[in-house]
Amino acid sequence: MKYDSTTRLSAVRKNTPPRSRRPKRNWARCGKSGKRRYRDWNDAKLALKDARFVRAIAEADGGACRWDITRQYLCGFCEGWHVTSQP
């Protein structure tokens, strides 16, 4: 199909394969703090690793990253793991 200024957007969408997207995850929340609840230490550690990666990419591009987490901890209320920016 030839694309030009007269091509309708719906025709372009029909001929374009769907984008692969990460499935949206509904995170469990802590009843006390409302923070994301990770079920084990490894999940919280992966979130920390992802945050460091996102921050490094943002800084390399000259931007800033709001996701500033530094450590994970065990919550005594929900018995799950949370991440925090506090040292």
> Is the dihedral angle over the CA atoms 18, 22, 26, 32 positive or is it negative?
negative
Nearest to 43 by CA among 3, 2, 82: 82
Query: What are the tens digits of pLDDT across the range 46-73?
Result: 989 888 888 888 888 887 777 778 899 9
Nearest to 73 by CA among 33, 13, 18: 33
The whole model's pTM is what?
A: 0.61
Strand partners, 81: 38, 74
Is-contact 71 83, C-beta < 8 A?
yes
Query: What are the tens digits of pLDDT across the range 4-47?
Result: 444 454 544 555 555 555 555 677 888 888 888 998 999 999 98
Distance CA 81, CA 56 (A): 24
Strand partners, 73: 82
